[in-house]
Structure 1
Amino acid sequence: MTERATDSYEDWLRARVPAGRGLRGKAAAVLELLLSQPGRASFGSAGELSQLAGVNVATVTRTAQALGFAGWPALQQELRARYLSSLSAGQVAAEHSGSGSPSSRALRRDVDNLALFTRRADEGVLVTIAEAVAAARRTVIVADGSYAAIGLALAHNARLAGYPVTAVTAGDAELANAVAVIGADDVMIAISFWRLYESTVLAANEARARGARVFALTDAASPALANAAEEVVMVPAEGEAFFPSLTAGMAVAQALVTQLASVDPARTGASIEAAEAMWTRFGLLHRRPSATS
């Protein structure tokens, strides 16, 4: 079976079932509901799911835990990301039709995404990524399409912090050239959401095969991406229109570069001072810092 074939919603969910004993009785009924009605499962509450499955809410929670999640909210986050990744852009927009203006719904969704990530973020993983970037010969960030905004911001600020970080954001030839020279002393950060870019997944696997440390920022990692990455940062990216939201992803990029700047404050301070001097020399800034007395 190919990697692409095992990347379906059903295959992913069945792969979470404990080997050997599986799920039985009422938990099995919950699982079958998740498989047969992914849309309802993705947007319904634990109470609604319990009624549909004919079980109590505690059984829904225990089923989520048996599948390897802290509880129903954590499972539902990934369920919904994977369900939405199976839809076309038009179908995604249809799933999000609701009351209130689209702009208000989008803002509320972004607030919810940030709150969700803040509650579930593993600070240790962010520290690991920052320290890996600080120790690397160089870091390559792969981010295509609209996700390029996150990669560019992360790379720009990481360079200001004093580290050799570049973002590859357009063109398979540029990406192929970058991967061709990556090695065991390097780091790759793959950034992709929703249905994922095939080129990003391929680059992550090639970098891992060449000995580089690979990390991923995504909302629902495919097996091919998750297996290539040392750590996967799960970032809520659900939007209210045809495309994912980048707000939480940008916040993660800012958190990473802030952590990176703390690894070697002297190095970062010197780098920022050098950049400030060059900004002044080139006359880049409309507002310039006041001279100290």
Structure 2
Amino acid sequence: MTDGGPDGFEAWLRGRVPERGLRSKGASVLQVLLTQPRRVSYGSAAEAAALAGVNVATVSRTAQALGFTGWSDLQQELRARYLSSLSAPDVASAQHTEGELGTASLRRDLESLAVLNRRLDEQLLRTVAEAIARARRTVIVANGSYLAVGSALGHNVQLAGYDASVVHDEAELANAISRVGPDDVVIAISFWRLYQSTVTAAEEAHERGARVFALTDAASPALAAAAEEVVLIPAEGVAFFPSLAPGLAMAQAIAAQLSTVDPDRTRRSIEAAEAQWSRFHLLHRTPRRD
């Protein structure tokens, strides 16, 4: 892969190299990452070490020098960025998924959820929830199938008692971003090959002083620069489809954390919503009142 543009794979990886540079063996590992992303995206640390002519410990140290906790975390983001450079047919070909794709998809989701749980930064979760709680309003930007993640988050933020809207139509998005300011929060949700409209919305919101958070598997430099924080979420699926399960899990985690910021406010909001659900006869079974 030779994508060396400002938003490209090579630029991202070289941008993580510390100012002091890497030792010669670390530089050999970096060269393998740059020149053989497909092999190392799916291989073990031992395979990466063999390709670079170093030992496994050097691979781990290089991963840490690049800002990761170790090889597995580096590989996770490396693969996400490698896959984001491919077309949908190429993604299916690169993955070489064996067996029934339905069960493979479930296994992949379970693996991704385990990675998400292992990498979860609880302070980051609190930061996002508290920002939403303090905001005048929250604008959630999501497109395509990722709208499922945005809709789940927006619905629960509203239930928790806070002003939130989910925007995906581009004209509506332009209008919504034109109204945001320093008192607002914008949450940009996009995975795999990022939607340009989502990145543009994040950039414009940042310019207008809003607090911007990105939920993604591999933020481009442009999206990362616009966001106050990037919440990295595994999104690798099977066949042609990115996984939505980890993104939905994170949306639920943010909503759950938000409910603890002002529990009385959230309780009042849910009670008011419950009354309206009853008034509109929305539920098949009416909850029993003790």
TM superposition score category, shorter chain reference: over 0.9
In the TM superposition, what are the counterparts of 1:1-293 in structure 2 within 5 Å?
5-19=5-19, 21-169=20-168, 171-292=169-290
Question: Counterpart of 2:193 in 1: which secondary structure?
Answer: coil
Distance 1:248 1:260 in 2: 18
Distance 1:11 1:43 in 2: 21
* Aligned amino acid, residue 45 of structure 1: S
The C-alpha deviation readout for 1:104-125, integer Å capped at 9, x for no partner, is 1100000000000000010100
Distance 1:230 1:264 in 2: 23
How far is the alpha carbon of 1:99 from its aligned partner?
2.1
Distance 2:57 2:162 in 1: 48
Distance 2:133 2:97 in 1: 45
The C-alpha deviation readout for 1:143-184, integer Å capped at 9, x for no partner, is 011000000110011101110011002x21000000010011
Q: Structure 1, unaligned stretches of length 5 or more? A: none
Distance 2:110 2:129 in 1: 25
TM-score normalised over the length of structure 1: 0.96
Question: Counterpart of 2:286 in 1: which secondary structure?
Answer: coil
Query: What is the RMSD computed on CA atoms of the aligned residues?
Result: 1.0
Distance 2:176 2:140 in 1: 10
* Aligned amino acid, residue 47 of structure 2: E
Distance 2:72 2:261 in 1: 34
On the 8 A contact 2:97/2:238 being kept in 1, the answer is: no
Distance 1:92 1:121 in 2: 27
The C-alpha deviation readout for 1:67-91, integer Å capped at 9, x for no partner, is 1111111111111010000000001
* Aligned amino acid, residue 92 of structure 1: V
* Aligned amino acid, residue 237 of structure 1: A
Distance 2:26 2:136 in 1: 49
Distance 2:23 2:273 in 1: 62
How far is the alpha carbon of 1:98 from its aligned partner?
2.7
Distance 2:54 2:146 in 1: 40
